Each structure stands twice: as C-alpha cells, then as structure tokens.
C-alpha cells in the first residue's frame, strides 16, 4: 500500500483570526470550518499537512447527521460540552460525553451517524487526518481523558492515546495565567486553535477562535489568561 502524502509549501508562521473562519448556520447546526469543507472551497486553505478538516460544531438537541459514508480518513471527535451518540456499520456504538474523545478509522469504507441525543447543545471539534496508508480496516474507539494542568495531554496519535494511523499527534493543552510551555517541532508543523483564554504564541497573541499554523519551529507558549487549546503536531510532506 502506498503512502498518500503530497508536499505542501507553507509559510513559517500564519495567524488566522476568529473572524476569518468560514461560518455556516443551518439552524440545527452552527459550525466554523477552518479548512475547505463540503461546498466551501479555498485553494489556499485545503489543509495543513495531514490535517485536512477541523470543524468547530454546535449541534442542537435532537439533531445530527444521518448515516453517511467515509473512506481513507482518520477522524477524531472531541466533545467539549453536551453529548453525541454514534453508530456505524462496523457495529461501533456509543455516547461521547464532555471530556471524551472518539477515533474512527474509515479505511476501506465505513458508514456512520452522529446525533445529539441530549437536552443541551453539543459543542464539539471534529478533525480529519490523512492516513499513512490507504485501505486500512475500519475501526472505532473512544475514551475519557483527564487533562493535565500547565501541560499538553496527548489525545490521539500513532503511538499513544487513541491509536490513529496518521503521522500526527493531537493534544489538548491547558495553561494557567502566567504559565509557559515549549513545544519543539523541527521539520514538522504545529497547528494551534484556542478554545478559551488568551495565549501568546511566539509573541503573537491569540484570542478564542484564533489559530496559529507554524512550520519547522520552536513554539513558545505563554498564557496571558487561563487558556484551553488544541495543538496538533503533524507531518507536512
């Protein structure tokens, strides 16, 4: 089976503000698409290395996505608040609650449905990664995660956390005001999306909804306020 990465030329550091996200409001779903997705296409924003989709979704109670197919994609869902039910063609079934993480390897093909079965809106992040090879056997898994303070907590990777077959490491970070953290990503990419707080990234300041995309960089983080964020360390080519 052949690898499917293709070289992508990127700037050393790119800061994108919350207002630059592509927003759609379907009534039952309010979503921000950080990369090209569905009928939104920007040839300059199709992904960041193996990271091809990052959607910030809020789903209304009782609503969701009916059965639909995926193939050759590693999909990770983080529920920030509320709960999300899942059912797929492999027999995988469960409810993902706040603080839990789900991984689905679409591989040769999988059909699944996602629905907010709770009474409150469900806020989630869903990320799609290119796999290291095509034609994998479909699989599903989920776990509860205890987040570390003033550190990165590994959620999913090829070697720790939930196992996904992509050359990427998905973390969630929490830093209290005044705390610092250094992430070294030589010859790789670092993607940061701020959920809450105010975070300094190599002297650029992020507010909630802002993102930073850095290449081949030593990333120095300083929390100007208590901060919660997602950090992805990813192969770029």
Full DSSP string of 104-161? EE-TT-EEEEEE--SSS-EEEEEEEE--SSSSPPPEEEEEE-PPPTTEEEEEEESSSS
User: Would you say residue 7 has pLDDT above 70?
Assistant: no
pLDDT digits (tens, 9 = 90+) for 173-218: 999 999 999 999 989 999 999 999 999 999 999 999 999 999 988 9
pLDDT digits (tens, 9 = 90+) for 90-115: 888 889 999 999 999 999 999 999 99
Helices then strands, counting H and E runs in the chain, come out as 0, 20
- According to CATH, the superfamily of the domain at 13-234 is Jelly Rolls (2.60.120.10)
pLDDT digits (tens, 9 = 90+) for 27-41: 999 999 999 999 999
Sorted by where each begins, the domain ranges of the chain are: 13-234
Give me the residues paired with residue 189 across strands.
215, 234
- The distance of Cα 82 from the centroid of its chain, to the nearest Å, equals 17
User: Would you say residue 49 has pLDDT above 90?
Assistant: yes
CA distance 76 to 170: 9
User: Which pLDDT score is estimated for 12?
Assistant: 85
DSSP 3-state assignment of 189? strand
User: Would you say residue 47 has pLDDT above 70?
Assistant: yes
Token couple for 206? 């992020």
């Amino acid at each position: 089976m052949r690898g499917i990465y293709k070289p992508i030329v990127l700037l050393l550091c790119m800061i994108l503000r919350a207002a630059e996200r592509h927003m759609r409001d379907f009534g039952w779903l309010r979503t921000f698409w950080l990369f090209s997705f569905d009928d939104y296409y920007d040839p300059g924003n199709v992904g960041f290395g193996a990271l091809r989709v990052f959607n910030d979704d809020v789903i209304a109670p009782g609503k969701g996505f009916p059965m639909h197919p995926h193939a050759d994609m590693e999909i990770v869902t983080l529920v920030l608040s509320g709960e999300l039910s899942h059912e797929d063609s492999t027999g995988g079934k469960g409810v993902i609650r706040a603080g839990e993480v789900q991984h689905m390897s679409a591989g040769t093909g999988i059909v699944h449905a996602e629905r907010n079965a709770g009474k409150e809106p469900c806020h989630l992040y869903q990320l799609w990664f290119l796999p290291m090879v095509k034609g994998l056997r479909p699989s599903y898994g989920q776990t509860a995660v205890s987040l570390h303070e003033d550190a990165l907590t590994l959620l999913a990777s090829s070697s720790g956390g939930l196992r996904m077959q992509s050359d990427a490491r998905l973390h969630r970070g929490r830093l209290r005001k005044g705390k610092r953290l250094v992430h070294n990503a030589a010859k790789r990419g670092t993607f940061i999306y701020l959920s809450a707080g105010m975070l300094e990234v190599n002297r650029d300041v992020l507010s909630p909804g802002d993102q930073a995309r850095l290449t081949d960089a030593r990333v120095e983080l300083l929390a100007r306020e208590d901060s919660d964020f997602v950090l992805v360390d990813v192969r770029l080519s």
